[in-house]
Amino acid sequence: MATELKNLNEFSKNLSNNVKGKKVAIVVAEWNEDITKALCDGAKEFLLKSGIWESNIEIIEIPGSFELIYGSNLLAQREDIDGVIALGCVIKGETKHDEYISNAVAQGLSEITIKYNKPVIFGLLTTNNLQQAKDRSGGKHGNKGTEAAYTLLRMLEL
């Protein structure tokens, strides 16, 4: 379903309470920083509201979305971390860079989640323009960071 038809902050299921004590990590890209900071704030706020202790949320920053792969790999390999949220924003430009970056991140994160057998959440906005990114980072379509945090907690319940 397109985000146009679904608000990113509306969730179909309630979370159980058994995520307390889990340690999670967020890796966030600095490229398009205003957007990615809003994604990170949304994710962190949701984790805290859901009972994850602040001391159990580790955040690292990396330059651009392509580096989400290396950053997520570093975090996922750590035994003390139960799951990772990767946050970035790739905006279409005049060239095809957006496709190369987004495809690489999707492929890279799926390999990491399988390699370490723990959830690595794809919190990457892939938009046609800045307005679409604003709409999905706390604007009219909700916040992809919040949705990524919800998704991680759902996966940690399994």
Applying CB under 6 A, which residues contact ligand RBF? 29, 31-32, 63-67, 88-91, 93, 97, 101
3 state DSSP class of 120 = strand
| Catalytic one of 6, 20, 97, 115 | 97
Q: How far is the CB of 133 from ligand RBF (least distance, A)?
A: 9
Q: Which is nearer to ligand RBF, 118 or 136 (CB)?
A: 136
Q: Which is nearer to ligand RBF, 67 or 147 (CB)?
A: 67
Q: How far is the CB of 30 from ligand RBF (least distance, A)?
A: 8
Q: Which is nearer to ligand RBF, 61 or 155 (CB)?
A: 61
Compute, in degrees rounded to 10, the torsion defined by CA atoms 136, 69, 50, 154: 90
Compute the C-alpha angle 57/146/109, nearest 5°: 70
Q: Output Rg (C-alpha) for the chain, integer angstroms.
A: 15
Q: Which is nearer to ligand RBF, 112 or 153 (CB)?
A: 112
Do residues 150 and 48 touch, judged by C-beta distance below 8 A? no
Q: How far is the CB of 105 from ligand RBF (least distance, A)?
A: 8
Q: How far is the CB of 31 from ligand RBF (least distance, A)?
A: 3
114-139 burial string, b = 16+ CB within 10 Å, else e? eebebbbbbbbbbbeeeebbbbbbbe
Do residues 77 and 113 touch, judged by C-beta distance below 8 A? no
Judge whether 97 counts as a catalytic residue. Answer: yes
| Residues noted as catalytic | 97
